[in-house]
Amino acid sequence: MKIKLKNILFTLLIILLNLSVILVAQTYSESEIKTKVDSLNKKCIENWYSDRELASNLAEQALDMAIEAKYLKGKGSALNNIGNIHLFKGNYDKALEYYHKAIKSFELIDLKEGIANCNNNIGLIYEYQGEYYQALNYLQKSLSFEIEKNNREGIASSYNNIASIYYYLAKYEESLEFFTKSASIYDELDNEKEKVSCLINIAAINEIQGYYEKSIKINREVIRLSRKYKNKHEEAMGLHNLGSNYFLLNNLEESAKYLNKALIMRDELNDKSGISSTLKYLGRIYEKKKQFNRAIDLYFQSLKLSEELEDKRSIAETFTLIGENLMEKGNYNRATEYFYQSLEIAREIGARAEVLANYQQLTMAYASINEFDSSSNYINLYASLKDSLSIEDNQESVSTNEKLDKKAERQPDKIRFYRIVLTITSFIVLILLAILFIKRSKK
């Protein structure tokens, strides 16, 4: 009996030992899977600028493993990464789908950091589509979380993205303030890799303010750092922006050189938004060379891509360029049709710089066909909006006055010229009408 009891106890002990080994092995296997998923997600992030296909494969592998292991954090990160890849390719609807799936995964484990990151990315999509106030809503959600957690890198990223919105709303002083804050935090963190995006935008604002040489210097630094960290996406942006700088300095050969380099790189990356932007600028070069048919062909190629992406701001910009092209050919009536289409979109999305450009073009188009009442109307609308923008800038910073004054010294104000011309013309027309009325009265 004792022997039987001992045998039973021994057997039970063996069973318990085997179970414990199985459980330990299973736990270790799950731990290994989580580590592997995290590693795949990390490698995806490292490659999404340089090798999109590899990044996509890594994210898909991470997602499959995370789903199988029921690892929600890894699943959410993989979904977010896949969303980012679609974002870079311009597949915005697909990107939004993955971001919202990622948010659901993060919400199940209350991972606020992941939710904030997705909100930030959703904000970027609305920015690219010209839905600026919707974008601000999501970006501010993300910023609130980053401030709550005192995540300096997250705060810097949010500042950078919010600054972009102010840039497109033509609130340049606010934009520069947020870009500068973002760059300062990256300096504090000794993170020059992430600082590059701030430099790109600071260069853009310097260009708008007429400081072209300063903008060139910053863009060259952007290219240097982008190559250092193998970020082809940002390198292409730096090349495109250098092309823009030289265009505004009227150095068309140098401009075309950098724009073509950007176009080749953006084509390799399948960056539809970037391709559209560079095609537009190349069109402007042909416009300056009086090769209007070649220019308008490039504008329509750009427009097609922007419409595929539902990028309202880009569509509005391209309509304006097409209108300017038609006006150069003397086709003023068709030109005004494109200006009106652009103006409607620009007003809808709050792109005030584009609204301003269309007021200016409509002023000149109507003046060219002697419709002075309509021309005068758009002069007044231009002046009113220009004044309101100036007042806002004055309230934000006293130094803005100095910048605007310097810019005014460098660039003649076409609108002021047209206002004077129209005032004189209207006066002459009134005198002629008065003379005709007097002659008829005498008869």
pLDDT digits (tens, 9 = 90+) for 163-192: 999 998 888 999 999 999 999 999 999 999
Q: Label residue 213 exposed, middle or buried (CB < 10 Å: 0-12, 13-18, 19+).
A: exposed
Q: Supply the pTM of this predicted model.
A: 0.66
212-310: CATH superfamily = Tetratricopeptide repeat domain (1.25.40.10)
CA atoms within 13 A on the CB side of 307: 8
Domain ranges of the chain: 212-310, 326-443
Identify the weakest region by mean pLDDT among 4-13, 113-122, 324-333, 362-371.
4-13
Among 397, 411, 409, residue whose Cα is nearest residue 360 = 411
Write out pLDDT tens, residues 322-343. Answer: 999 999 999 999 999 999 999 9
- Report helix, strand and coil shares of the chain as percent, to nearest 5: 90, 0, 10
Q: Is the pLDDT of residue 264 over 50?
A: yes
